[in-house]
Each structure stands twice: as structure tokens, then as C-alpha cells.
Amino acid sequence: MNTLFDQTTINGMALQNRLARSATWEGMCAVDGKPFPKLISCYRDLARGRVGLIITGYAFVSPEGKQLPGKMGIHTDDFADVMKDMTGAVHEEGGKICIQLVHAGGQTDAGNAGRQPLAPSAVKIDQYPEIPAEMTAEDISRIITAFGAGARRAKDWGFDAIQLHGAHGYLINQFLSPLANHRQDGYGGSIENRCRFLLETYQAVRSAVGPDFPVMVKLNGSDNLEGGLSPEDGLYAAKALDKAGIDCIEVSGGTPVSGDQSPARMKIDSPEKEAYNLSLAGHIRAAVNCSIMVVGGFRSFAVAEKTVQESADYVSMARPFIREPALAKRWQEGDRSVARCISCNSCFKPGLQEGGIYCVVEKKEQEKK
């Protein structure tokens, strides 16, 4: 029977446990996307805290794919030295680090993108700050190439794996969603066509890193949104990726406009409210052969342990590790009390003003001592 602290491998990448730090925006990079030393320290602390796999904050593969200030970039060879420092810091602590590659598509604005945003279709939907420009065939080819180039850099710089961000309303998810994708060419219409951008991006990444390097994807099992990606189409995408050779699918759900079914739900104060993407993950796991990771409101050891015993291969969390970078170490050493994260989402608010996310509640408690 699986346990949280089994040693496992994903396409040759050895992991010390089944706990992953899911990607989030940290806001700890310069305007051009170059990481600050505090981001390296953040990942070092997670590795020291025995997180099995650290998935970085989403890194834009092309400048117009940047969404927020302080977001990391992987679009230029100029960042080689600092990125090697980052991977080296994690490896010195015995950790493994996977970089998440993203293009925000229509889910950014001209101020951050430096131009009118690009998207599958020039439509105004709630998740878009402004009407984007419809991507041309040349745009599609260029951005797919940029994903491959980002993957090549990541491997060269010492990252242990690649994850494509195919969830939460970003560009890959926009191609998958009938709400965002109104194209009449080979990239729109049927679910087979809407998967084309995802699969071509995966193939570009796979070609860049080779068959023996872990390539993962964060995929919505459902957009939890009327007119968006349905569970049936999410399953189709997962099966297509599995057939193409993906090594691991991290199952998530929702977009920023999915209301109370968004990716980062609040007030998770009981076991019943945890693991809110578990049914989507189970649906996918039953149909594929690759490893399955699931994110979404995990707070208690018992729920996480039951998940890897019955429903998924790995459990990933983001907000609990913002408050407690050493949560995995605490659980492994026998303190199995619930994660201290109260799911208030206040950790993201200081990022824009103060140069990086942190747990506001934890800071206030420390100041009282």
C-alpha cells in the first residue's frame, strides 16, 4: 500500500516522497523575469523542508506571455547563471526542482505583455482583462518553438523536470476551452483540434529534452465554468497526452472566473472541504497509464495519505508550503497535525507591493512573540 513517504521515480527522477509543491506566483523576479536571490532562498527552504518535488512558479516562455509583475521568465539564455544557482541550491539540500512553463495568452494585459495580448480567438470573456488579438499561424508556431527553447534551457541549467501549465485559463487551456477558442482552422472546433496546440507544444518540449527526461503537465480536469472545458473533454486531453508519452499529469480545475470552484478556494477548515479536485483526478487516473498528481485544498495528513493510497500517485500543495516550507519534514518526523494554512489567500496580496508573497498570518503571529 502506498504511503506519503515512499521513494518513487518519474521517468528516472528519484523522489524522496509523494508530496509536491504546486506552482504559484511568487513575485520575486525583476521586471525582465530574472529571479532575485530571495526566490532562490524560497526554493532552498522548500528543499530543506523535504518537499519531494518543488514545482516552480510559472515561467513565461515569451515576453508577451507574462502576466504579473515579478513573474519568472525562461525566454532568454541571459539567465543561465542565476538559474544554475537556483537548481544548485535545491540540489545541495537533496531536493528536486521542476520548472513550470507557461504563456498567459489572453489572461494578461498590454501593460504586462508589452503589446496587445495574444489568444486563440479575439473574444471578450470574463477571464480576460481586455480583448486579445487572435493568434496567427505564425504566432502559434513561434510560441510552440518558445516552449521548446524554454525546455532546452531548463534541462541545460539543471532542472530535474519540465511542467507545462495547461490549466487555470492560461494559453494552453484557452485552446482547449470552447469558451475561449472560436477558431475555424485545425486548432479549433472539435476537441481533437482544440488539443492540437497542447500536443504540438508537448512534442516540441519532448524533442528538446529527449525521451529520458521527465515532462509533466498541469491540466484542468474541468474548467468548472459554463461553456468552458468539460470533464469529458478534459479526459480526452489527458488520454491524448498519455498516448503521446507524458510522464505525469497534475490534475487541477477551475479558472479565475469559476466562482466558488476556482483553483484556490478559501475557508478550507475541515477534511470534507479538502481534496476538491479528487473526483476529476480519479476519473483521469482510471483512463491513463502515466503518473497522476492532484492539487486542491489538501491540509491534513490523513486526507493526503488516503489520496495516495486510493486515488493518485502524488499530492501537491501550494499555500500550505507558503506558511510552512517544512511541512513535509514535520509530517515525516511524526507531527501529523493539520497544516497551519487557513486558506485566506492573503499570502498573495503583499506580493505586488512588497516584492514577494508570504504568509501574512504567520508574520503577524511571529511579531506578537
Examine the pLDDT at 348 and tell me if it is beyond 70.
yes
Coil, strand, or helix at residue 202? Answer: helix
Which one, of 206, 98, 224, 95, lies nearest residue 157 by Cα? 98
| Dihedral in degrees, nearest 10, Cα atoms 223, 4, 274, 235 | 20
Examine the pLDDT at 312 and tell me if it is beyond 80.
yes
Q: Where are the domains of the chain?
A: 8-342
| pTM over 0.85, yes/no | yes
Integer Cα distance of 126 and 259 in angstroms: 11
Examine the pLDDT at 218 and tell me if it is beyond 80.
yes
Examine the pLDDT at 353 and tell me if it is beyond 80.
no
What is the per-residue pLDDT across 42-88, written as a single tens digit (0 to 9) for each?
A: 999 999 999 999 999 999 999 999 999 999 999 999 999 999 999 99
Please tell me which residue in 43, 58, 170, 202 is annotated as part of the active site. Answer: 170
Q: Is 170 exposed, middle or buried (0-12, 13-18, 19+ CB in 10 A)?
A: buried
Residue 315: which H helix or E strand, with range?
strand 314-317
Integer Cα distance of 285 and 187 in angstroms: 26
What is the per-residue pLDDT across 143-195, written as a single tens digit (0 to 9) for each?
A: 999 999 999 999 999 999 999 999 999 999 999 999 999 999 999 999 999 99
Integer Cα distance of 119 and 312 in angstroms: 32
Range 8-342: architecture per CATH: Alpha-Beta Barrel (3.20)
Q: Is 358 a catalytic residue?
A: no
Integer Cα distance of 28 and 70 in angstroms: 5
Between these two residues, 62 and 366, which has the higher pLDDT value? 62
Residues in the chain: 369
Q: For 225-237, what is the mean pLDDT?
A: 97
Sorted by sequence, the CB contacts under 8 Å of residue 366 that are 6+ apart come out as none
For every residue of 87-132, DSSP letters joined together read HHHHHHTT--EEEEEE--GGGS-HHHHSSS-EESS----TT-SSPP
Question: What pLDDT score was predicted for residue 369?
Answer: 67
What is the per-residue pLDDT across 96-128, written as a single tens digit (0 to 9) for each?
A: 999 999 999 999 999 999 999 999 999 999 999
Between these two residues, 362 and 325, which has the higher pLDDT value? 325
Examine the pLDDT at 362 and tell me if it is beyond 90.
no
Mean pLDDT for the chain overall: 96
Examine the pLDDT at 352 and tell me if it is beyond 70.
no
Examine the pLDDT at 253 and tell me if it is beyond 70.
yes
Integer Cα distance of 201 and 140 in angstroms: 10
Sorting pLDDT into bands at 50, 70 and 90, what band is 351?
A: low
